[in-house]
Amino acid sequence: MKLLSGDRPRSTMLTLILLGIFLCLALAPFLFPGVRSLETAARICIFIVLVASYDLLLGYTGIVSFAHTMFFGLGAYGVALASVHMERGFGALAVGTVAGAVAAALLALVIGLFSLRVRAIFFAMITLAVAAAVAVLVSQLSAITGGEDGLNFRIPRELTPAFRLGEVAGVKINGKLLNYYLVFGSSLMLFLLLLRIVNSPFGRVLQAIRENDFRAEAVGYRVVWYRVTATCLSAAVAALAGSLFAIWLRYVGPDTVLSFEIMLDILLMVVIGGMGTIYGAVVGATIFVLAQNYLQALMGRAAESVAGVPLLPDLLNPDRWLLWLGVLFILSVYFFPTGIVGRLRGKA
Amino acid sequence: MSAAPDHTPTMAGLGLVERLARAMPLLLVPVLVMAGFVAIGTTSSWLTLTVSGLAMGMMIFIMASGLTLVFGLMDVINFGHGAFISVGAFVGISVLLGLGAWTGALSLVLNVGAVMLAVFAAMIVTGLLGWGFERIIVRPVYGAHLKQILVTVGGLIVIEQMIQVIWGPDEIFLTRPEMLKGAVIFAGAAIEKYRLLAVAVGLVLFVLMRVVFRRTKIGLIVRAGVENGEMVQALGYRLRVVFVGVFIAGSALAGLGGVMWGLYQEVITAGMGEEMMILVFIVVIIGGLGSVEGAFIGALLVGLTQNYVAFLTPKLALISNIGLMTAILMWRPQGMLPVVKAK
C-alpha cells in the first residue's frame, strides 16, 4: 500500500480491472506474442504516463492546457537530436532525456508565469497559440528537426531486435523485449511517482485550488506558485514519456509526437477514464488505444455494408473517426463527468 | 466641533506624460506603422505591406469581436468559434461558385452583388448554427470554465468533421470575382483591390459597432452587462436573451470573416477556422478580454507586425505573433484595454 501512496482503488471492480491491465502489460510479450500486440502494449504504457501527467494538470489542478503534446514532443526530439549528434549509446539517450525534460519544465515555467499570474483561462488560449507556433517551427526548421519527414536515429544495440539472448517458453528474448521492459519499468515508476505527488500535501493543495482558488489563497497558499509548479511537473513528466516513445519507435516526426490530434486523444482518455483520479489514466488510455487500433477497421467494414445509403458511408468512413470521437467527447463531459473510475468508485 | 482637516486639493489637469501613457494603446498602431516605415525604407513596399497588414488585421478583428464580447458578457469562452469561420467560408464560397456567371462578368455591380449574396448566406447559416451551438453545447455548462473549454473543443471537432463529410476532405480553390482581381498603383506601390475592400469593410463594421454600442439602448445594456452583469439583471433586463443575441451576432460575424478570409487566401479548408483561432485568441488576449476596441487595436497590431516581419526577416515571422503577445503581456498583464475584472 505504501507503493500506492495510500490511494487504493477503493472498488473491487476497479481493483480487478487495474490488476488485469497490470498483469497483461507486465507479461505482454509472453501472453500476446507478435509485433503488433507488443507495439500496442508499449503504446498503452507510454500513454498511461502521458495521460496521468495531464490529469495532474486538468483533473487535480483544474487547468486546461493545449500544449501537452508540445512537452511530449520536446522529450521525444531531445532524445532524437542527442542520438543523431552524439555517439550511439546509452549516454546519448540519457542526455537527450534529461535535456528534453529540463527544456519542457523551463518552457512551462515561462508560459505559466505569463498566463497563470492573471487568470487561469489565459493559460488555455496561450498554450494553444504557443503549441501551434512550436509545431510550425519544428516542421519549418528542417535542417535541425528533419521537418515533416522527422528523424530516424539509432539506439544502443542492446535495445534492438538484432541483439539476441535466447528463448524462454517459445518467446525469443531479444533487444526489442528489453526495450519493452525499459518502457514498461520506466512507465510504472513514473506512474507511481505521479500517484505519490497527487497524494502528498502538495497534491491536496492542488485539489483545494481546483475547488476554490480564492479560498485556497485566503487560507494562505500561494496559488500561483502551486499552479506553476504543477504545470512544470506535468510538463517534465510528459517530456519523459515523450523520450520513452522516441526510444521505442526509434523515430520522431511532427505527426507522431506533436499533432493536435494527439492532444485530443489525451483529452478524451482523461475524460473517459475519469478526471482527478490518476487510475483513470490507466483505464482511459488502455481502452482508448485498444479502440483506436481496432475501431477504425470496424468502421471501414460498417461503411462498406451501408454503401448504397446516402450520407451514411461518408459518416462511417474510417477517416471520419474524429467526428465520432468528438461526439463521444461531448457526451462524456455532459453525462459522464467523473469517468469510468468515478462511476466504479461511486458504486462501491 | 473639530476643525476641518487641513488639506489642499489640487485641481491640476493631467500632465502630458500621463495623457500619453493613457493613450498609449491607441498610439501603438501609428507608432508601429512609423517604425515599419523606418525599418523598411522604401515607400512603395512600405505602403503595400501596410495595406495588406491593415486588411489582415481588419479581417481578424471581424472574427475576434464576437468572441471577446461573448466572453465579456457571460464569462463564456468559446473554443468552437473557429468552426463558424470555416462554415462561413464554405457556405459563402459555395454560393460564389454557384453564381459563376455573376462573378465571371466584368461588371462591378454583378460582382459585388454575388459577394454580398455569399456573405448574406454565410452569415445566416453561421448565425443559425451559433444559435444551435449556444443552446446545445454552451448552455448546459454555464459558469464552469473547465467544462466549457472541453465541450466547445468537442463542438469544434464535430463541426469541422461535418464540413469534411458534406464538402469532402480536400481543400477548395477559387478565384476572386473579376473586378476584385488585380491591383491599383498608388504612389508607385501596387495595392491589391481586394485588400482595399477588406480594409473598407472592416472600418465600416468597426464604426457601426461603435455607434451601436455608444448610441443605442441595446449597446448600453451590452456594455453595462460586460462591466457588471448582476447589476443589469437586478435592473430588470434579461441578460440571457441579450447574450444569446450577441452570441448569434458574433457567430454571424465569424461567418463573414470566414468568407472574406477565404476570398483573400483563394483557398479554403475545413481546418482554416482552427488556424485562425490561434490569431484570434492572441488578438483577444492582447486587446483585453471583453473589449471590442482592444480587439480592434490588437488585430491591427497583429496584422501589421506579421506583414512587416515577414518582409524584413522571413524566418522570424512564424513566432512574431507570440513575441508580440509576450511583449504586450509583459507591459500590461491584463491586455491593453481590459474591461472584465480579473477573476
Work out the percent of chain A whose per-residue pLDDT is above 70. Answer: 95
A48-52, B210-214, B295-299: which range is least confident on average? Answer: B210-214
DSSP A155-213: --GGGSTT-EEEEETTEEEEHHHHHHHHHHHHHHHHHHHHHHHHTSHHHHHHHHHHH-H
Query: Please, which residues have CB within 8 angstroms of residue A51's CB and are 6 or more apart in sequence?
Result: A266, A269, A270, A273, A281, A284, A285
Q: What is the mean pLDDT of residues A296-311?
A: 73
The more confident residue out of A2 and B21 is: B21
> Going by C-beta distance under 8 Å and a sequence separation of 6 or more, which residues neighbour residue B179?
B106, B107, B108, B111, B112, B193
Place of cell 525599418: B39
- pLDDT value at position B330? 82
ipTM: 0.82
**Residue B188 burial by Cβ neighbours in a 10 Å radius (0-12, 13-18, 19+):** exposed
User: What is the pLDDT confidence band of residue B1, given thresholds at 50, 70 and 90?
Assistant: low
Per-residue confidence (pLDDT) for residue B342, from 0 to 100? 42
Q: Over 50: is that where the pLDDT of B343 sits?
A: no
Q: Which of B153, B163, B331 to mutate to test the interface with A (most CBs of A within 10 A)?
A: B153
CA A329 vs CA A6, B153, B221, B249, B285: distances in Å: 31, 9, 36, 27, 27
**Partner-chain residue, chosen from B150, B326, B342, that has the shortest CB–CB distance to A271:** B150
pLDDT range class, residue B73, cuts 50, 70, 90: confident
Contact A137 B318 (CB under 8 A): yes
Listed range (A275-279, B23-27, B196-200) with the worst mean pLDDT = B23-27
* pLDDT value at residue B335: 83
The Cα B94–Cα B229 span in angstroms is 40
Beta-carbon separation of B329 and A267 below 8 A: no
Residues B334-338, mean pLDDT to the nearest whole number: 81
User: In chain B, what residues touch A58 (CB-CB under 8 Å)?
Assistant: 146
Q: How many helices and strands, by DSSP H and E, does chain A display?
A: 17, 4
B279 to chain A: nearest residue by CA?
A129
Mean pLDDT of all residues belonging to chain B: 85
- pLDDT > 90? residue A186: yes
Helices B239-265 and B43-74, axial angle in degrees (round to 10): 150
B contact set with A (CB within 8 A): 77, 79, 137, 140-141, 145-147, 149-151, 153-158, 161-162, 164-165, 169, 274-275, 277-278, 281-282, 284-285, 318-319, 321-322, 325-326, 329-330, 333-334, 342-343
**Rounded CA separation B8/B67 (Å):** 47
Interface membership of A132 toward B (CB under 8 Å): yes
Q: pLDDT at residue A348 above 70? A: no
Check if the beta carbon of residue A320 is closer than 8 Å to that of residue B161: yes
How many CB pairs below 8 Å do chains A and B form together?
101
Under 8 Å between Cβ of B219 and B225: no
Tell me: pLDDT of B128 over 90. yes
Chain A residues 85-124 with a CB less than 8 Å from chain B: 114-115, 117-122, 124
Phi/psi-derived region of residue A101, left when phi > 0, alpha when psi is between -120 and 50, beta in every other case = alpha
How close A320 gets to chain B, by Cα (Å)?
7
Does residue A8 carry a pLDDT above 80?
no
pLDDT higher at B292 or B339: B292
Interface test with A, best of B76, B77, B146, B282 (most A CBs within 10 A): B146
Least CB–CB distance from A323: residue in B79, B149, B158: B158
Mutation site, B161, B162, B274, B309, interface A, largest A CB count within 10 A: B161
Q: Which of A119, A133, A319 sits opposite B322 (nearest CB)?
A: A133
Residue contact B333–A320, C-beta within 8 A: no
Cα→Cα distances B300→A50, A93, A216, B72, B327, Å: 39, 46, 39, 21, 16
Between chains, do A337 and B147 touch, taking CB under 8 Å as contact? yes
At A93-104, the pLDDT tens digits run 899 999 999 999
Task: Give per-residue burial for B97-134: e unless 16+ CB within 10 Å, then b.
Answer: eebeebbebeeeebbebbbebbbbbbbebbbebbbebb
Judged by a CB distance cut-off of 8 A, whether residue A337 touches chain B is: yes
Q: What is the pLDDT of residues B235-285, one digit of tens each?
A: 998 888 888 998 999 999 999 999 999 998 888 988 888 888 888 988 998
- CB nearest to B151's CB, from A122, A133, A333: A333
The helix/strand/coil state of B191 is strand
Which residue from A minimizes the CA distance to B161? A323
Grid cell 499552479 — which residue? A227
Mean pLDDT on A127-150:
84
For residue A71, what pLDDT band results from cuts at 50, 70 and 90?
very high
Query: What pTM was computed for the model?
Result: 0.85
Task: Give residue A120's pLDDT.
Answer: 67
* pLDDT-based confidence at residue B341 (cuts at 50, 70, 90): low
Interchain CB contact of A2 with B (< 8 Å): no
Are residues B158 and A125, on separate chains, in Cβ contact within 8 Å? no
- Least confident range from A208-222, B117-131, B273-287, B324-338: namely B324-338
Q: Which residue of A has its CA nearest to B327?
A: A114
Q: If contacts are CB pairs under 8 Å, which of residues 190-249 in chain A contact chain B?
A: none
Check residues A309 and A190 and name the one with the higher pLDDT. A190
- CA torsion sign for B80, B85, B89, B95 is positive
Q: Please compute the mean of the pLDDT values over residues A66-76 and round it to a whole number.
A: 93
Residue A269 has pLDDT above 80, yes or no: yes
